[in-house]
A and B are shown apart, each in its own frame.
Chain A
Amino acid sequence: AQSVSQHNHHVILSEAASLELGCNYSYGGTVNLFWYVQYPGQHLQLLLKYFSGDPLVKGIKGFEAEFIKSKFSFNLRKPSVQWSDTAEYFCAVIARWLDNAGNMLTFGGGTRLMVKP
């Protein structure tokens, strides 16, 4: 079974600081990768996703993530955070088999980001 690790549970940054949130997964095959974000009081929403192609993917609100297959990683980055980026961020992985029946999206433990104004 696949598992997903997010190394930082809590991150506190000042506005304009750069952000990198780590995500590693354990599955040797082909995967689809996601970052979801949950802003305070709002529903979980998709930030960005990687299925194939360019391993550097760009999402909404200036976020990007890089898939490094050799490291089983999919780290989330943003060059300059804003107070409005305060939220909880979840990495998620699903294995891509020929027959995906019964295979489910697996989430990491989440990282709470607080951006100080």
Chain B
Amino acid sequence: DGGITQSPKYLFRKEGQNVTLSCEQNLNHDAMYWYRQDPGQGLRLIYYSQIVNDFQKGDIAEGYSVSREKKESFPLTVTSAQKNPTAFYLCASSTLTGARTGELFFGEGSRLTVL
């Protein structure tokens, strides 16, 4: 089945540690996104990429880093510089047309808790 796979589903981290969240898609989509979901704040865009080896900052990129070495993969690293990393992280993808029209497909999310 085509879709977006995020792993791990749940992750615990000690303060001061970096952690990497995986996102893989087999939809052959060009564009991929990372959103952060906090209660009452909806989804906020962290980073997005529309082509391999290129990515752009979203609204809340500070303390995060990404790479896009392959079309199907867009891992997110939450660094120790992120002041409030405990959140639910959602990966999404779209065609380039979908990027313009707003039609995104989402993974099931990764919940990160910093102890």
Interface of A with B (CB < 8 Å)? Answer: 4, 6, 9, 32, 34, 36, 42-46, 49, 51, 90, 92-94, 96, 100, 102-105, 107-110
Query: Is B104 located at the chain interface by the 8 A CB criterion?
Result: yes
Option from B4, B41, B102, B109 in Cβ contact (under 8 Å) with A105: B102
- CA–CA, A94 to B106, complex, Å? 17
Give the B interface residue count (CB, 8 A): 24
- Tell me the number of A-to-B contacts counted with CB atoms below 8 Å: 54
Interface of chain B, main secondary structure: mixed
Q: Closest B-chain residue to A41, C-beta based?
A: B108
7 A-B pairs closest in CB distance: A94-B102, A107-B42, A44-B106, A100-B100, A107-B43, A43-B108, A109-B42
A4→B102 contact, CB < 8 A:
no
> Per DSSP, are chain A's interface residues mostly helix, strand or loop, or mixed?
loop
Please name 17 further chain A to chain B contacts, defined as beta carbons within 8 Å, in addition to the given A6-B42, A44-B92, A108-B42, sorted by A numbering. A32-B102, A43-B4, A43-B106, A43-B109, A44-B106, A49-B102, A49-B103, A92-B43, A94-B101, A96-B101, A100-B100, A102-B56, A104-B58, A105-B102, A105-B104, A109-B40, A110-B39
Identify the interface centre among B44, B45, B102, B108: most chain A CB within 10 Å of its CB. Answer: B102
B104 surroundings in chain A (CB, below 8 A) = 105
Q: Which residue of B lies closest to A99 (CB)?
A: B100
In the assembled complex, how far is the CB of residue A109 from the closest CB belonging to chain B, in whole angstroms? 4
B42 partner, pick from A4, A100, A103, beta carbons under 8 A: A4
